[in-house]
A and B are shown apart, each in its own frame.
Chain A
Amino acid sequence: MKREVRRKWAGFLFVLPGLLSYLIWTLYPIIKSFLMSLYKWNINPRIPNEFVGLSNYVKLFHDDKFYTALINTLKYVIVTVPGQMIIGLLIAVLLTRGLKGQTFFRLLYYLPVITSWVVVSVLFQYLFATRGGLVNYLLKDLLHLINRDIRWLAQENTAMIPIYVLGIWKGIGWSMLIFLAGLQGIPKQLYEAARIDGANGWMLLRKITIPMLRPVIAFQTVMLTIGGFNVFLSVYVITGGGPRNSTQVLSSYMFKEAFDYFHFGYGAAIAVIFFLIVFTIAQIQRKLFKREIY
């Protein structure tokens, strides 16, 4: 009995640091944001905050800019999550084929993951510049696919494209790495047996690799979705939300309201809605992927 108690205490002590950091850095800010969202919040602690109930939320639901930001964020997730995973998987499969210099290529593809968002965002700004940008040079002068420079960042319908491309490019390495780990776990016999049954490469990928990677795919979908919702620095640096708010995403809009306009209560309301959306989507994804098929 005594030993039982001691073991419980020991267990508790082991989780305590993690629990504390969760309480302080995750749970407390969530609760605090929710409380802030009910006030006309003033950052000067000497000025009392004015309680406004749900009026920040009422305003939010009538705010066109909020919906634009929400839709842009969803589009970003829908484009970049599959984009990263498909390319990441293809590269991972290629890199398990025993090519020469495999390790070198793995390192090379992982490099974008560890580079600074700000630095590569500035770089992408140059790549997609109207005049003298590398992308227009390739499309116009080298491949002759277009005959006039595309004004990527100056037009509303194209300004999001560099941000998508950056998001995918920067995430491929991480996706590849997780897939590589997943691929190691697939028993070789399955492929051998299938080959004997006359399966070709495409069938191997569809009938064995992808189903066997299901838990990895589920994990990546959830993680990349959460990551995608948090898109901020690339937007902040490349377009600043423009032209005409056409690239505003939830986090950049929240930042603008809170830190540029000092609407901290309103910014907190955006954060709360933002949290609820991401939380719900992550739960749905978890449910969907829970069904095991083998």
Chain B
Amino acid sequence: MKKIFLVLALMVVVVAVFGVEEITFWHTYSTNSGEYKLLTEKIIPEFEKLHPDIKVVETQVNYDDMRQRLIVSTATGELADVIRMDIIWVPQFGDIEVLLPLNKAFPNEFNKLKDQFLPGPLSTCYWNGNYYGLPLDTNTRVLLWNKKLFEEAGLDGPPETMEEFVNDIKLLTKDKDGDGQTDQWGYADYGLGPWNSIPWIYSFGGYILDPTNSKAEGYVNSDESIKALETFKDLYYDGYIADTVVGGGGIGTFEGYAEDVYAMIIAGPWSWPIIKGQYPDAEINFALFPAGKGGSKSVVGGEDIVISAFSEHKEAAWEFAKYMTSYEVQKAFVEVSQMPVRKDLVEDPIIQNHPYFHTFMKQLETAVARSPHPGWNQINDIMDLAWQNAIVADYNPDFALWEAAMDIEEVLSEFE
């Protein structure tokens, strides 16, 4: 009997010393993408070579199913050790203590690493004194302008200021076949939520929340924020902005841009492969979003890499998270069109020589993150509704935004 125990005890010790620690990694890289191929064929195997004691088991989840999966797994306490998560979810899951605060768990290392990241993407991990992740990849939206339509209208280049922008939008809207209905629009987008409206609001010099994310009144309804909405509303009412912004259906922004229906659209870096995939001959021209009183500002998108607070392999998970944000890995991902989050890659030739990343990287220098706040989903819907109220239901812009201010204040008070 004693012998058996001894053997068992020995086995436990052996596994603990020489055993391989397994960590799970959930991500939303689509399985037919170059990113997925790189991750599974190169990045993970190399990590395992560097850390023979750690094995990474990756699971691909469709973006549309990820949120559901995270919620269900939170309830059952069965989250993956490491997760690549949409930046706007991080504060929400951090707030319910599902994610590991990295600045508390690994204070020395975290503080050393922190400054290597671009500030916009890094800010998306922050909530209430804690950093709940490391930025992993980023993106933003820039202006796409149709050179052919610009030349037809006698314009020689993309608008650089807000005044030029508004002017060009009007010049580029036409009824080509003379049936009394517009068939070419100056500008198109596919919604009125903050993802769509932030470039307008912030370039006009407006805000949604104050810099500390604790106040809305006087910011979301500042004169500049109102002016942005007013300008957009007037353009829409006079027929210069396509109906797609209010969900009217019709030709999508990418297709419309390639088919010379929309002279200007605003889009992320993925527009390039999507448009080129459907219209290989389309000419795509990127430009910074036109600068207003607030400069040229756009909106930050992307993903963070987070560690589950439930994880039993936090150290191994941290090693993997650090590796994924390292110079080599970030650089490798650039080649499969993932934009890096590290400062030391901005000036790197790999970005500078990339066919279109440089405009996006330039735009990122000033891009605004959607306020990292656990109530963001509610704030997002309030902003969306306020813009819809003004644009669909003809509310006065300053009243619509005053209402939004009141509603956002109520959301903010929920988290005090």
- A positions within 8 Å CB-CB of B: 42-47, 125-126, 128-133, 148-149, 151-156, 239-240, 242-245, 256, 259-262
Taking the complex as formed, is B264 at the interface, i.e. its CB lies under 8 A from any CB of chain A? no
Contacts of A42 in B (CB 8 A): 96
**Nearest A residue (CB) for B380:** A260
Q: How far is the CB of A128 from chain B (nearest CB, A)?
A: 6
Instruction: Give the contact stretch, choosing among B100-108, B243-251, B272-280.
Output: B243-251
A261 adjacent to B392 (CB under 8 Å)? no
Would A154 and B71 count as touching, CB distance under 8 A? no
How far does the Cβ of B172 sit from chain A's closest Cβ, in whole Å? Answer: 17
Q: Given the complex, which residues of A lie within 8 Å of B71, measured CB to CB?
A: 43, 259
Complex CA gap A154/B241 in Å reads 14
Cα distance A130–B190 in the bound complex, in angstroms = 13
Q: What's the minimum C-beta distance from A258 to chain B, rounded to whole angstroms?
A: 9
Could you tell me if A152 and B249 are in contact, using CB atoms closer than 8 angstroms? Answer: yes
Residues of B within 8 A of A (CB-CB), count: 30
Q: Which residues of A contact B76 (CB under 8 A)?
A: 45
CB neighbours of B247 from chain A (8 A) = 153-154, 239-240, 242-243
Contacts of A148 in B (CB 8 A): 181
Contacts of B384 in A (CB 8 A): 242
Q: Which residues of B contact A (CB under 8 A)?
A: 67-68, 71, 74-77, 92, 96-98, 181, 243, 246-251, 374-375, 377-378, 381, 384-385, 388-389, 392-393
> Can you give 10 A-B contacts (C-beta < 8 A)?
A42-B96, A43-B71, A44-B96, A44-B98, A125-B249, A130-B248, A131-B251, A133-B249, A260-B381, A262-B96
The 5 closest A-B pairs by CB, nearest first: A129-B249, A131-B250, A154-B248, A130-B248, A154-B246
A131 closest partner in B (C-beta): B250
Of the residues B67, B75, B248, B375, contact of A131 by C-beta under 8 Å:
B248
B374 to chain A, nearest CB (A): 8
Q: Determine the distance from Cα of A42 to Cα of B98 in the docked complex, in whole angstroms.
A: 11
- Please tell me if the beta carbons of A149 and B74 are within 8 angstroms of each other in the complex: no
Interface centre among A44, A128, A155 (most CB of B within 10 A): A44
Complex CA distance for A152 and B247, rounded to whole angstroms: 9
Give Cα A97 to B246, complex, Å.
47
Closest Cβ–Cβ distance, residue B391 to chain A (whole Å): 9
Q: How far is the CA of A154 from the CA of B190 in the complex (A)?
A: 12
Please pick, from A133, A149, A239, A261, the residue contacting B377 in the complex, using a CB distance under 8 A: A261
Query: Within the complex, which residue of A44, A133, A156 is in contact with B393, where a contact is CB–CB below 8 Å?
Result: A156
| Complex-state Cα separation, A63 to B71, whole angstroms | 25
Complex alpha-carbon distance, A125 and B389, angstroms: 22
Q: Shortest distance in angstroms between A13's beta carbon and chain B's nearest beta carbon?
A: 32
* Beyond A156-B393, A243-B388, A244-B385, 18 extra complex contacts between A and B, CB < 8 Å: A43-B74, A43-B75, A43-B96, A45-B77, A47-B96, A47-B97, A125-B249, A129-B249, A130-B248, A132-B251, A133-B249, A151-B246, A152-B249, A242-B388, A243-B247, A244-B392, A259-B71, A262-B92
Instruction: Tell me if A133 and B250 are in contact (CB < 8 A).
Output: yes
**Inter-subunit contact A244/B243 (CB<8 Å):** no
Residues of B within 8 A of A125 (CB): 249
Closest B residue, CB atoms, query A155: B392
Q: B248 to A46, Cβ gap below 8 A?
A: no
Assuming the contacts A44-B74, A45-B77, asked whether A149 and B249 have C-beta atoms less than 8 A apart, the reply is no
* Given A148-B181, A244-B389, A262-B96; A130-B243 close (CB under 8 Å): yes
**How close is A119's CB to chain B, nearest CB, in angstroms?**
14
A130-B243, A148-B181 given as contacts; is B249 within 8 A of A243 (CB)? no
CA distance A148 to B243 in the complex (A): 14
Contacts of A126 in B (CB 8 A): 249
Contacting pair B378 A153 (CB below 8 A) = no
B375 and chain A: residue at smallest CB distance: A261
**Among B97, B249, B378, residue most surrounded by chain A Cβ atoms (within 10 Å):** B249
Q: Could you say which residues of chain A place their CB within 8 Å of the CB of B67?
A: 259
Complex interface: chain A residues within 8 A of B388 (CB) = 242-244
For A133, the closest partner residue in chain B by CB is: B249
Instruction: Write out the residue numbers on chain A whose beta carbons fall within 8 Å of the beta carbon of B250.
Output: 129-133
Q: Which residues of the other chain, A, contact B393 by a CB distance below 8 angstroms? A: 156, 244
Contacts of A149 in B (CB 8 A): 181
Distance A156 CA – B247 CA, assembled complex (angstroms): 11
Q: Which residues of B contact A152 (CB under 8 A)?
A: 248-249
B54 smallest CB distance to A (angstroms) = 26
